[in-house]
């Protein structure tokens, strides 16, 4: 059995680690203006790398394919289960309404964020971790280069720029996939589907969904950069840091998603134009 002393030690260690990551996140956010002003060239480099390089969010690096595939598969299941469930009670005409709500409010931002964490976030952790264990970060500190804005702040800014097109691609993919399943596979009425879809989907829903995606992306980058920045234990330690960062970011996505859903749409959400609560 685990003794009380061991339990206390583990709790203290866990709280210390949480405090370290929270402090690092605060330092990164506080130095974002410095990163944008003093390291604009590095920001542009990170945007190009994240947007078009090996860790692509927009083209060439695989993330866009992951987002498309994950969004389409998840949206297909939404379409299948939505139509089957509504068919049991004879209300398949509301498929468009549920598609607009589920895809916009939950599916698209969550799927895009998980893809971001798995593809780009782990890359940030690995690169910063390798710099840490090879003493490159210490060398930058010795040359009076502020490593937090230079290494982490620039990546945060680049990701904030690139998450918008990534989110848009995932959102459109969910809309198309669900409509194809309901209308072309199950034989639903295209006019009825489009009618309920358009009267349900409001611009504020898309805006709130984008806010979700941006918040998720910010949390993911801060978590992964922190784990990479504080990595220890050689190459094996970098691998452990990447795994822990991915686990932590996914758990935070789930928790923050619940909080933001209630904060943005309320405890009792309303369906626009239909008067349903």
CA of 276: how far to CAs of 11, 168, 200, 261, in Å?
46, 27, 10, 17
Q: Stretch 204-213: mean pLDDT, rounded?
A: 92
Residue 159 lies in a domain: yes
The per-residue pLDDT for 9 is: 74
The per-residue pLDDT for 175 is: 92
Residue 271 lies in a domain: no
Residue 45 has pLDDT above 70, yes or no: yes
Q: Kindly state the percentage of the chain with pLDDT values over 70.
A: 91
State how far the Cα of 219 lies from the Cα of 28, in Å rounded to an integer: 12
Q: Regarding predicted confidence, which is higher, 126 or 1? A: 126
Residue 17 lies in a domain: no
What integer best gives the mean pLDDT of the chain?
Answer: 85
Region at 186 (left for phi over 0; alpha for psi -120 to 50; beta for the rest): alpha
Residue 116's contacts (CB-CB under 8 Å, 6 or more residues apart) are 57, 63, 159, 163, 166, 216, 217, 220
Q: Which of 28-32, 42-46, 184-188 has the highest mean pLDDT?
A: 28-32
The Cβ-side half-sphere exposure at 8, using a 13 Å CA radius, reads 3
State how far the Cα of 276 lies from the Cα of 181, in Å rounded to an integer: 25
Boundaries of domain holding 196: 33-265
The per-residue pLDDT for 272 is: 61
Residue 240 has pLDDT above 80, yes or no: yes
Residue 133 lies in a domain: yes
Residue 4 lies in a domain: no
CB atoms inside a 10 Å sphere around CB 143: 8
Question: How many domains does one find in the chain?
Answer: 1
Residue 18 lies in a domain: no
The per-residue pLDDT for 12 is: 81
The closest of 119, 99, 102 to 162, measured between CA atoms, is 119
Q: Which two tokens stand for residue 90?
A: 């004879």
State how far the Cα of 80 lies from the Cα of 47, in Å rounded to an integer: 38
The per-residue pLDDT for 60 is: 45
Q: 236-239 long-range contacts, Cβ below 8 Å, gap at least 24?
A: 237/129, 237/133, 238/125, 238/126, 238/129, 238/130, 238/132, 238/133
Q: Model confidence over 51-65: pLDDT tens digits? A: 665 545 554 456 777
The per-residue pLDDT for 252 is: 94
Residue 275 lies in a domain: no
**DSSP structure class, residue 104:** I
- DSSP bridge pairs for 271: 276
The closest of 95, 69, 102, 104 to 179, measured between CA atoms, is 95
Residue 26 lies in a domain: no
- DSSP bridge pairs for 276: 271
């Amino acid at each position: 059995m685990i003794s009380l002393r061991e339990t206390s030690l583990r709790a203290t260690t866990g709280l210390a680690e949480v405090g370290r990551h929270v402090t690092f996140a605060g330092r990164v956010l506080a130095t974002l203006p410095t990163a944008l002003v003093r390291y604009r060239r590095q920001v542009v480099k990170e945007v190009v790398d994240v947007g078009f390089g090996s860790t692509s969010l927009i083209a060439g690096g695989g993330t866009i394919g992951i987002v498309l595939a994950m969004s389409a598969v998840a949206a297909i299941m939404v379409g299948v289960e939505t139509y089957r469930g509504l068919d049991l009670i004879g209300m398949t005409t509301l498929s468009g309404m549920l598609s607009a709500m589920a895809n916009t409010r939950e599916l698209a931002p969550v799927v895009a964020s998980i893809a971001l964490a798995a593809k780009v976030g782990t890359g940030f952790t690995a690169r910063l971790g390798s710099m840490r264990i090879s003493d490159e970060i210490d060398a930058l500190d010795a040359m009076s280069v502020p490593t937090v804005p230079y290494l982490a702040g620039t990546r945060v800014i680049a990701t904030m720029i690139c998450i918008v097109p990534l989110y848009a691609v995932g959102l459109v993919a969910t809309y198309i996939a669900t409509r194809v399943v309901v209308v072309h596979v199950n034989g639903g009425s295209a006019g009825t589907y489009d009618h309920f879809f358009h009267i349900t989907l409001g611009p504020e829903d898309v805006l709130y969904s984008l806010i979700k995606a941006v918040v998720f992306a910010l949390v993911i980058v801060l978590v992964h950069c922190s784990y990479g920045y504080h990595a220890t234990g050689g190459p094996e330690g970098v691998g452990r840091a990447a795994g822990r960062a991915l686990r932590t970011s996914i758990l935070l996505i789930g928790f923050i998603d619940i909080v933001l859903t209630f904060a943005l749409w309320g405890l009792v959400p309303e369906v626009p134009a239909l008067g349903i609560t």
